[in-house]
Amino acid sequence: MSSLKAAIRPTLRDVKHHPLRSLAAILLIALPATYAAFLIGDTTSESQFYGITFQQNSAQFFGSECQQSVDASA
């Protein structure tokens, strides 16, 4: 445990002496990571929505085929 304290001590000292610099360092890492995660989730949700919206259902009955969209528009 003493080696962990020894490793953390300079970091805590820097945070205490330069709080704005430490906040800036945290934000420089956290903001782009959050933005990237948002874009990944947004793109995935959007592609799933369009995939479901434009999905065609087809049924075959005695050799003829009928296609219809999920919202019954076609």
Number of domains in the chain: 1
Tell me how far apart the alpha carbons of residues 14 and 73 are, in angstroms, rounded to a whole number: 63
Q: Is 37 a member of any domain?
A: yes
Q: Is 57 a member of any domain?
A: yes
Claim: this prediction has a pTM higher than 0.75? no
pLDDT > 70: percent of the chain: 69
Which pLDDT does position 54 carry in this prediction?
A: 63
Who contacts 56 (Cβ-Cβ below 8 Å, separation ≥6)? 67, 68, 69, 74
Who contacts 69 (Cβ-Cβ below 8 Å, separation ≥6)? 54, 55, 56, 57
- Which range marks the domain in which residue 54 is found? 2-69
Which pLDDT does position 60 carry in this prediction?
A: 74
Q: Is 18 a member of any domain?
A: yes
Per-residue pLDDT tens over the stretch 36-72:
988 887 776 666 666 666 666 777 777 777 777 666 6
Q: Is 17 a member of any domain?
A: yes
Q: Decide if pLDDT at 33 tops 70.
A: yes
User: 72: phi > 0 → left, psi -120 to 50 → alpha, else beta; which?
Assistant: left
Q: Is 74 a member of any domain?
A: no
